[in-house]
Structure 1
Amino acid sequence: MSAEAVRSRRLEAPALPVRFTATDAAADGQTRTIEIDRERVLVRRQVRGMAIRVSLPHQAYRGVSLRLGTEGCEVRLEHRDPGLSVNLETGADETDMFAQWEAWGRALSLPLMIGVVDGDCCEVGSIANAKPVARRRSHNAVKTRRPSILLRRKKGDKLRALRLYREREIIARS
């Protein structure tokens, strides 16, 4: 698919679900249909007259990559199998592609990756998931003096622990 056709299509990441067609050299008619929603990516194509439908969760993908080339940039949904990777955006404006790259990564909760058009890509950072991480305990003065297991216990009283009886000892004899 040409860059103009992709640009005119203008996918909006937060407006999921989205459905579009893309070129596929192995498919009959050289096209495949791709649907992306909040939970999964669905790829439909026909190979030698047989309909193939592949449904993958977002976690099956490595991340959202920004690939830089001499003619422009492309934003792709990267999979370990190159046949399942999905081209999301293509354009010449780097700032616009950068914004689309971040928006797709945020919308799909996938790590951001960067690479060159004909080469491999590497992870830049990851987007925080929906679950917030629990706060760590702060380091305060008591924490530095006592182990954390003892923080949950009451402190002992030395005078109460030392039991002294000032009377004669009573021993029971039978």
Structure 2
Amino acid sequence: MRRQTSTGGPDSAGSSRGLRLDPLSLPVSFAARDSRADGGIRQIELHRERVTLHRAVHGMRMTISVRVSEFAGVTVRDTADGQALVLLHRDPSLAIPLLVTDDAVERDAAWQAWSEVLALPQLADDRRDPAPRRRRCNAISERRPSFLMRRRCGYLLGPAAIYRGEREIIARN
């Protein structure tokens, strides 16, 4: 399998101008802009099954590996350099640029190709369904299983019966 790498220079894959990645020659490794990262650049490795991001934030190096199936889909966004084809994640800092161009025909062909190769839907706009609501954290739910939450506690039933003066049967051996 052949590997694409960025070559540097003014029109490298990491710059927003001239970004063109081929979906049929994965895996690909390139640099992209990241406003939060030190130096404003992050390294991205894109495979068919996973995406690995390498960046440093405030001097701390980090590697983030995300499965491709966790991305919402492939969408088009307007940028200062033209329209960008983006691999969209629900965390905006994990969105991956795939193509920046002004040519609508080239963009639509790449949009279809990336969607098929990564098995992700083509999103017409950035709007997605909201994430499902998370369960509230409750102090007692951490201590007792949920099926016991429905049962009545022993102290609500009244005092326990005490038997005095009776002979006990004790089995020894």
Do the two structures share a fold, i.e. TM-score over 0.5?
yes
Superposition map of 1:14-93 within 5 A: 14-68=24-78, 72-93=82-103
Contact 2:43 2:55 in 1 (8 A): yes
Larger Rg over CA atoms: 1
Instruction: Specify which of 109, 130, 140 is matched with residue 99 of structure 1.
Output: 109
- Unaligned 5+ residue runs, structure 1? 124-174
> For 2:124, what is the secondary structure of its paired residue?
strand
Give the equivalent residue in structure 1 for 2:22.
12
- Unaligned 5+ residue runs, structure 2? 1-9, 130-173
Contact 2:11 2:19 in 1 (8 A): no
| Identity between Structure 1 and Structure 2 (%) | 37
For 2:128 and 2:39, locate their aligned partners in 1 and report how far apart those are by CA, in whole Å: 33
For 1:106 and 1:18, locate their aligned partners in 2 and report how far apart those are by CA, in whole Å: 17
Q: Displacement of 1:87 after TM fit?
A: 1.0
The two structures have a TM-score, normalised by structure 1, of: 0.61
Normalized per residue, which structure has more helix? Answer: 1
CA RMSD of aligned residues (A): 2.3
Q: Displacement of 1:67 after TM fit?
A: 2.7
The two structures have a TM-score, normalised by structure 2, of: 0.62
Contact 1:19 1:36 in 2 (8 A): yes
Instruction: Specify which of 102, 124, 127 is matched with residue 121 of structure 1.
Output: 127
Task: Map Cα deviations across residues 120-143 of structure 1 (whole Å, 9 max, x no partner).
Answer: 3359xxxxxxxxxxxxxxxxxxxx
For these two proteins, the number of residue pairs brought into alignment is 118
For 1:103 and 1:89, locate their aligned partners in 2 and report how far apart those are by CA, in whole Å: 12
> For 2:123, what is the secondary structure of its paired residue?
strand
For 2:87 and 2:25, locate their aligned partners in 1 and report how far apart those are by CA, in whole Å: 16
